[in-house]
């Protein structure tokens, strides 16, 4: 156990969580590296929240082992794990000021542990530090009702980090914010992660959030880990069709090929000129169809193409040929940009 006693390192070994006879987590093996910003994604009901709750100690695993900082935590209560969690529906104490909300946990600790707990001076200093870190300095005397949604969310984060946990768990922390606030909150979480140095584990259903923030991305499927690794690895080398279609937007195009399926990303198809019709296609997969729908995306165009009873997506960037509804399409995908899957949906490297 000596090789792996790193604060913030999380290791799940054959971890299972059952609710009655239903299996929420099915013998999960997963390593969440110390100091990583690990993002967990997956369809609703796949076990994301259960995973966070088991790590936090709010739920107890049915079977398997959980190590935090290299030590088995089975014997530790939630309060002793040095793990903090921020919920989707974070509830602040409405009758307390921001400062009192921030210091609540520390004051409790001081009362229970008079000798080892933090002093009044420590608490005031930490409130000031967290206030600075989260830009709440001028709001410390306000009550939650006098704050915006984004400010309340920052107080909830502050309340979690004031105890300097080695692990911070965030369950859909940005879902209550509108899209503009989400963008700035994403930036704040990245900055916070850099400054507090804790391992941050975040659950989201937002593709953009997942790909842009994660140093480590975990895709879950029916209580199992479908794949984990860097966002780049999962995007460029998905281990299964499930991961290929779940990570990235639009979903990877897939079509039958030699007993299995072949997939490609919308942005990897290169349009061939209209005058190329009838000429031999270059190396790679040739796809053809009729433009059915075009969406302007700001820096490009996302195009839906129909080929008989099949649809596929193309992405055209600024400066490339723009398509209009009804236009015929001929496009080619280079061999190295094709993803091959066998009949069970498992990646084949060819």
Residues that bind ligand ADP (CB under 6 A): 19, 22, 24, 42, 44-50
Closest contact distance (angstroms) between CB of 247 and ligand ADP is 16
Between 14 and 43, CB nearer to ligand ADP: 43
> 163 by DSSP, 3-state: which?
coil
Q: Which is nearer to ligand ADP, 20 or 308 (CB)?
A: 20
- For 58-71, give the DSSP string: SS--SEEEEEETTE
Structure tokens at 150: 């984004």
Q: How far is the CB of 58 from ligand ADP (least distance, A)?
A: 10
The maximal CA–CA distance of the chain, rounded, in angstroms, is 84
Q: Least distance from C-beta 30 to ligand ADP, angstroms? A: 14
Rounded CA-CA distance 312/295 in Å is 14
**Is the distance from CB of 80 to CB of 72 less than 8 angstroms?**
no
- Nearest approach, Cβ of 221 to ligand ADP (angstroms)? 10
Who contacts 313 (Cβ-Cβ below 8 Å, separation ≥6)? 250, 251, 253, 266, 302, 303, 304, 305
Residue (134 or 226) nearer to ligand ADP, CB = 226
Check: CB of residue 96 under 8 Å from CB of residue 105: no
Which 3 state secondary structure label does DSSP give 274?
Answer: helix
| Comparison of 49 and 253: residue with beta carbon closer to ligand ADP | 49
**Least distance CB 44 / ligand ADP (angstroms):** 4
Residue 50 CB, nearest distance to ligand ADP (Å)?
A: 3
Nearer to ligand ADP, 17 or 152 (CB): 17
Four-residue CA torsion sign, 139, 145, 148, 149: positive
Closest by Cα among 126, 152, 123 to 139: 152
By beta-carbon proximity to ligand ADP, the closer residue of 47 and 238 is 47
Nearer to ligand ADP among residue 36 and residue 204 (C-beta): 204
The Cβ of residue 215 has, within 10 Å, a number of other Cβ atoms equal to 14
To ligand ADP, the closest distance from the beta carbon of 183 in angstroms equals 24
Q: Single out the residue of 239, 227, 293, 226 nearest to residue 266, CA to CA.
A: 293
């Amino acid at each position: 156990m000596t090789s792996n006693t790193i604060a913030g390192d999380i290791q799940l070994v054959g971890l299972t969580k059952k609710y009655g006879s239903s299996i929420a987590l099915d013998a999960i093996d997963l390593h969440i590296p110390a100091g990583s910003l690990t993002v967990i994604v997956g369809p609703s009901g796949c076990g994301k929240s259960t995973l966070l709750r088991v790590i936090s100690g709010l739920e107890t695993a049915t079977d398997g082992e959980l190590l935090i900082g290299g030590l088995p935590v089975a014997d530790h209560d939630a309060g002793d794990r040095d793990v903090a969690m921020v919920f989707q529906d974070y509830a602040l104490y409405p009758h307390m000021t921001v400062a009192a909300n921030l210091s609540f946990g520390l004051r409790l600790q001081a009362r229970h542990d008079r000798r080892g707990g933090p002093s009044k001076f420590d608490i005031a200093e930490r409130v000031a530090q967290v206030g600075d870190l989260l830009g709440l300095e001028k709001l410390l005397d306000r009550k939650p009702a006098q704050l915006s949604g984004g400010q309340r969310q920052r107080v909830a984060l502050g309340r979690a980090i004031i105890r300097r946990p080695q692990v911070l768990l965030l369950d859909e922390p940005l879902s209550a914010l509108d899209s503009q606030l989400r963008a700035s909150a994403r930036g704040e979480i990245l900055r916070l992660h850099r400054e507090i140095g804790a391992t941050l584990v975040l659950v989201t259903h937002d593709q953009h959030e997942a790909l842009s923030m994660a140093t480590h991305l975990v895709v879950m499927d029916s209580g199992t880990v479908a794949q984990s690794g860097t966002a780049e690895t999962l995007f460029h080398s998905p281990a299964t069709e499930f991961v290929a279609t779940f990570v990235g937007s639009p979903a990877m195009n897939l079509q039958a090929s030699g007993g299995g399926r072949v997939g490609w990303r919308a942005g990897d198809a290169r349009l061939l000129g209209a005058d190329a019709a009838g000429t031999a296609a270059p190396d790679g997969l040739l796809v053809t169809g009729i433009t059915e729908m075009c969406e302007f995306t700001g820096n490009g165009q996302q195009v839906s193409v129909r080929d008989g009873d099949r649809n596929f997506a193309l992405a055209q960037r600024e400066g490339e040929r723009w398509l209009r509804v009804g236009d015929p399409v001929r496009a080619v995908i280079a061999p190295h940009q094709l993803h091959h899957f066998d009949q069970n949906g498992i990646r084949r490297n060819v």
